[in-house]
Chain A
Amino acid sequence: MPLVEIRAVDKAFQRDSERVEIFNALNLDIEEGSFTALMGPSGSGKSTLLNLVAGLDRPTSGSVRVAGAEVSAMSPNQLAPWRARHIGFVFQQLNLLPVLTAWQNVELPLLLTNLSRKERDERIRLALGVVGLEDRMKHFPRQLSGGQEQRVAIARAIVADPTLVLLDEPTGQLDAKSSQDVLALLRRLNDEFRKTIIMVTHDAHAAASARTVLHLEKGQLIERQGAMA
């Protein structure tokens, strides 16, 4: 059974007097343990698809199921704790709260759990260790490079051991070296820790790190490339 099941999803919104259709009867399955890259031109609906899976946005019609839960039918009050438990999200930039240290940023999802202080500390140390930033835990975002900031954001996305890690253009603002580091980290999370990852990207090189690449154009999945590994 797929981890993510998208069935007959329509998504449209109103821009002034114009109705803009993003998806029309979209169907998609994402398997557990997969690493999927979503590619496509601007406006093709990549980020919208990611938002639908995370429960940040609702389809106009159709069904979005993640780990057996009907995300599209949940109320906002149900969605927040569900996201805390199942979703780790990384944005292109400005992921971190500037007033908190790397450690405190990574701790945020754990504040929503019942873990003790000691258990939280262990998890944070482990997550920052996985992304290779044990020596930057007391640093504020302004004291980190762009690549380091993204790695902290990834640590925050995985610290609560979510079902699904979603990334929206995680390397969009990074230089080549930092991009390589982040992509290598994502591969490691998928290979070693069996994390299911969906990554939106414009960059074919970044997409090449994924096992599956989906191309979206005008709201349709027009191409599916198999494992790249």
Chain B
Amino acid sequence: MKYLHLVLANLGRHKRRTLLTIASVALALFLFASLRTVVTTLAAAAQFGSARRLVSTNATGIVFPLPLSYANKLQATPGVEAVSWANWFGGRYGDNKRFFAQFAVDPASYLEMYPEIALPEDQKQAFIRERSSAIIGRRLVDIFGWKLGQDVTIQGTIYPGDWTFTIRGIYTPTDAVINDDMMLFQHEYLEERTGRPGQAGWYVLRIADGDQSASIAQGIDDQIRNSNAATKTGTEQAFNASFATMWGNVSLLMGTIGMAVVFAILLVTANAMMMSARERTREVAVLKTIGFTDRTLFGLVMLEAGLIAGIGAVLGLGGAKLLYKSTNFNAGGFLPGFDVTTSTLLIGAGVTLLLMLASGLVPAVRAARLPVVQALRRVE
């Protein structure tokens, strides 16, 4: 500790350069944490969902609807306990700076299908009763300050026009499978306004035995194979995973180009730190003349590199952790909330250690091995 002031004084030698170097480390590690968080979040998204819920979509693609008439057929399938359906609405609110997902659902069956959408009974009944009502997640209240009974107008994109809904319920998710920033409104209201009744975006089915999911799904698809719109049925987890795999290439891109950018920044940072150490050849020679040992000088240079890397890491990794935690970013409801995981923080700490070694080791060894006489002669 008695050498700490010496290390701090050296860091303060070129304050701007030290600050920029720390900022570079922080930025690199912030990017690292962010990119890895995208990857871990995508992986986590594929794990959410109940094993007892199946999702049937149009076999051609999720953007194509299914006839609402399938509901009875699905309900009658052995092993299926309940059926509900939903449509992606894709509207915009206000200046659209804060996107959130809206779904048209069959209120009674959907809320029964998803007990994770916790809602007071009176609000639930009001939602079921009133055609133009909607329920919203608690986070939307925090973001927009909406209140029960308030009329909210959404601009439709897939279904053009202004759509005004009266907020009749505010739900709180009891499980991460449900996002806390969705808006749900009545499917019948959608059909009525568009004049296109009898279409569902996808079906959700609850089955009695999760172990039978594969055979039940296969049975449903076989049963509907020869209809106008064939189905593709799988578990809710697989459905969520399909959203996640839509991001697959993005994930790959982030995992390669992103890491290359991080690595480049780290190289620049390491070079700046090595340059800083090289400039002090004369001073290292003076310290050796005073009696500082090779080991002490090695330690001082490494400590300096460690402090720069460490402060940068705390700012970068800590910043990412706090930022995503406080903003609860969830890609507009497509993904579970971003959270920098412990494993990301640990790997980030490992990257920091590597950076410290990469930037500190060469100048530290050079300082330790510096021949005093040549060093003094070279400068004089």
Contacts and interface: CB of A to CB of B under 8 A. Distances in A.
B48 to A, nearest CB: 54
17 contacts: A56-B289, A56-B372, A77-B293, A77-B294, A83-B290, A84-B290, A84-B291, A84-B292, A85-B291, A92-B380, A94-B282, A95-B286, A98-B13, A104-B5, A104-B9, A111-B6, A156-B290
Which of B10, B12, B380 gathers the greatest number of chain A CB atoms within 10 Å? B380
B289 A83 contact: yes
B144 interface: no
Contacts of A80: 288, 291-294
Contacts of B5: 104
A51 interface: yes
A87 B291 contact: yes
B56 to A, nearest CB: 71
A51 B380 CA distance: 15
Interface string B123-146: 000000000000000000000000
Interface residues of A, number: 29
Interface string B368-380: 0000110010011
A89 B285 CA distance: 12
Nearest to A94: B282
Given A51-B373, A104-B9, 10 more contacts: A77-B293, A80-B288, A80-B294, A83-B291, A84-B291, A91-B286, A94-B380, A99-B9, A104-B6, A156-B290
Interface in A88-123: 89, 91-95, 97-100, 104, 108-109, 111-112
Interface of A: 51, 54, 56-57, 76-77, 80-85, 87, 89, 91-95, 97-100, 104, 108-109, 111-112, 156
Interface string B281-309: 01100111111111010000000000000
A199 to B, nearest CB: 16
Contacts of B372: 51, 56
A99 B292 contact: no
A80 B13 CA distance: 26
Contact of B373 (A57, A83, A156): A57
A112 B282 CA distance: 19
Contacts of A98: 13
Nearest to A97: B283
Contacts of A51: 372-373
B286 to A, nearest CB: 7
A100 B12 CA distance: 10
Contacts of B16: none
A89 B290 CA distance: 7
Contacts of B10: 99
Contacts of A108: 287, 290
Contact of B286 (A87, A97, A99): A97
Contact of A81 (B6, B13, B291, B373): B291
